[in-house]
Each structure stands twice: as C-alpha cells, then as structure tokens.
Amino acid sequence: MRLDFTVQALLLAALFTPAMPLSAEPLPLLLAETEHGQADVALYLVSEKLDGVRAFWDGQVLRTRNGNVINTPTWFIENFPTLALDGELWIGRGQFERLSGTVRRQVPDDNEWRQVRYRVFELPQAPGTFRQRAQVMRTLVAGAGVPWLQAVEQFEMSNRKALELKLGEILKLGGEGLMLHRADALYTTGRSDVLLKMKLWHDAEATVIGHQPGKGKFAGMLGALRVRSTDGVEFMLGTGLSEAERRNPPPIGTVITFRYRELTSRGRPKFASFYRVREI
C-alpha cells in the first residue's frame, strides 16, 4: 500500500508513542451522538455498527470502557501493536450473548476466543484527521499479521439516499445500524457529534431504581422495572424482559440499556423496552 507523506508521518508518530497502562476506572473515550437526519453525509466516513463489546487496548491488556481488564488468552494479544487502539470484540451479527459469555470468563477459554475478532475503529493517541487515522489503522493491522486483529471498513457515502440504502442493506443482513465519523475530525473524547450512530431503534442507558410486582401471568415475578435515565427522567420498563429476567430481575442500582423509537416533547422515551444489562 502506497502512503502519502502525511500518513507516513502519522504512522511514525503513532508507532513511537507507546500506550500507557491505565487503572480500573471509566476511560475517556469518544462516544457517539444519535443521527436524526442532521448530518451532511458527504463529510463523514461510514461503517457498520457492531453489536459487540467495546474494548480499549492500552498497549498491554484489553480493557472495558470502565477500565476493567478483559481476561484474554496470551496468544490473542501477544502480537498487538504497542500503541493505544479502540475497537470492538466481535464474533458476528446476532452473537452478542455468546460473545459476552466468552469475555466475562475469569479464565479464558481458548476454543471460544478462536471465534473472536478485535475490530479496530480508532487510534486514540494518533494525530491527524479521522480519514488519515483510518489509513494508518489499515496499515498497522496489515503489518501486525494477526488474523483476528482487523480494521473496521469505512465507506464513502455521497448523499443521504446512499446512506439509507446502506442502512437497509446492513439491517437486512442482521446488523444493528451504521456509525458516521467526521472524516476531518481530530481525535476527541466524550460524547460528540463528530461520531453519530444511525439505527431504526435508538438506545440509551438508565439506572434501576425500583421493581414493580407482576400481575396475571407475571404474578410472583417482576412486572416492570422503574428506571431513571441519564437525563433524570423516570419511567417504567415492562416489555423486553425474558421470563428468567422477571424471576431474577436486575438489582436496584444496576445500569441497563433500553431501546426506544423517539422522545416525547417532555423527553420521555416512546415505546421503550428493556434490552440488556450494560456490559462491564
């Protein structure tokens, strides 16, 4: 692959800036806003939104977004680059539960980890625009020669119709949606509109603050969770829960992810349903 002078310089800067080990605390990562039709599509690079486990490579170990070490087999990470990487542990579309079980094990199972890929979508310590960083990512991954270390493919979309067609294609294949990253953006952290997520359903997080007893067929079980969103809005979640979750509901204080169609004028989620307990 032929690299222009700027990308060569960025690659060298990345390679000679080793990542620093971090403590077990929430990491300062880039988080996405929701795409509501506001984006000038031509300004963004677009990729598939992966339903996996967010994982930050600090140069020595993989960590969750909360800073907890992910116990991997030694062979899985031994040839990773020494600079910081941000990405997603992933098995395939619709395989989140299987992946979650693999990642949560205190003693990693080699056979299970043989199915896992680390899909890289950002270089947290690298300079340059995202377009340039994406090229550096491809170069680094190719140079590492690790089959399960992969750069997330980025697409150019000329207009919104092309973007919507791409979304439909991904959804038809069982995917979650799309991610849009401003091609000219320097690296930043926190929630920012330089990164947008586009899905038919939106998702958000809330904290469990109460349990509503069930009635009828749910008698003796959980009827609904009372939750408080990150915006301070309180509401009930009574759909999306399995029978096992109703018999053994998430404890008060647990952070969960819920899905919804849209927000009311008062900021309450419409057609909200429980999705899952937030990953570690």
The rounded distance, in Å, linking the Cα atoms of 197 and 81 is 28
Structure tokens at 71: 């116990």
Cβ partners under 8 Å of residue 149, min gap 6: 79, 80, 117, 118, 120, 141
Quote the CA–CA distance of 76 and 118 in Å, as a whole number: 9
Strand partners, 226: 210, 236
Q: What is d(CA 163, CA 58) in angstroms, rounded to the nearest whole number?
A: 33
Nearest by Cα to 138 from 7, 30, 279, 274? 7
User: Are 103 and 118 a contacting pair, CB within 8 Å?
Assistant: no
Q: What's the angle, vertex CA 256, arms to CA 254 and CA 261, rounded to 5?
A: 155
CA atoms of 96 and 174, how far apart (whole Å): 12
49 has catalytic annotation: yes
Are 117 and 95 within 8 A, CB to CB? no
What is the DSSP pairing of strand 85-90 with strand 117-122?
Answer: antiparallel
Q: Rounded to the nearest 10 degrees, what angle do helices 130-144 and 5-15 cross at?
A: 60
Given 49, 166, 215, 270, the catalytic residue: 49
Q: Give CA–CA dist 103/109, Å, rounded.
A: 9
Q: Annotated catalytic sites, by residue?
A: 49
